[in-house]
């Protein structure tokens, strides 16, 4: 997917908000791709974590909302512990997730989960899942 970057597409407010929420300096990222290589979920992501970091550095909010990366992230922290620039990427993913969820958007609809699934899942799966995937 070609991405057009002009001074008009750079959303500096978005970058500021992302850095505040995550507590991370996203400009430290040097695009080495260690996060993508470490991510056990990257095969199922539309954009890998490295690409998401790149888009974030350019403040491309809309592009980031449309990709599933932060919705598929399992917060396993593999990227965080391996990032050679010391960026807690799990926190960046959380910030991206929160920025979407706080618009009252759910990634999963609890009412649509079948009763048998609810019965089968351990409580920690449901609590963690709802915390991470619902607004």
Contacts to other proteins by CB under 8 A: 20-23, 40-41, 43-44, 71-72, 74-78, 80-81, 88, 90-91, 93-95, 98, 107-108, 113, 120-133
**Of 32 and 74, which has the nearer Cβ to other proteins?**
74
Residue 53 · residue 92 · CB < 8 Å: yes
* Least CB distance to other proteins at residue 55 (A): 19
Residue 133 · residue 107 · CB < 8 Å: yes
* Least CB distance to other proteins at residue 32 (A): 18
* Least CB distance to other proteins at residue 129 (A): 3
Choose among 38, 102, 98: nearest CA to 70: 98
**Of 1 and 43, which has the nearer Cβ to other proteins?**
43
What distance in Å separates the CA atoms of residue 62 and residue 14, rounded to the nearest whole number?
10
**Of 9 and 129, which has the nearer Cβ to other proteins?**
129
**Of 61 and 94, which has the nearer Cβ to other proteins?**
94
* Least CB distance to other proteins at residue 127 (A): 4
Locate all alpha helices (DSSP H) within the chain, ordered by sequence: 12-22, 34-38, 49-57, 61-66, 69-72, 78-82, 89-101, 115-120, 123-133
């Amino acid at each position: 997917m070609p991405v057009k970057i002009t001074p008009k597409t750079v959303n500096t407010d978005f970058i500021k908000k992302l850095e505040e929420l995550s507590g991370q300096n996203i400009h430290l990222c040097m695009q080495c791709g260690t996060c993508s290589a470490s991510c056990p979920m990257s095969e199922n992501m539309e954009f890998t974590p490295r690409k998401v970091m790149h888009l974030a550095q350019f403040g491309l909010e809309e592009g980031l909302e449309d990709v599933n990366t932060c919705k598929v992230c399992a917060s396993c922290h593999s990227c965080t512990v391996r990032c050679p620039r010391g960026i807690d990427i799990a926190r960046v993913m959380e910030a991206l997730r929160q920025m979407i969820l706080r618009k009252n958007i759910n990634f999963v609809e609890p009412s649509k989960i079948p009763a048998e699934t609810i019965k089968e899942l351990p409580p920690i799966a449901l609590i963690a899942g709802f915390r991470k995937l619902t607004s």
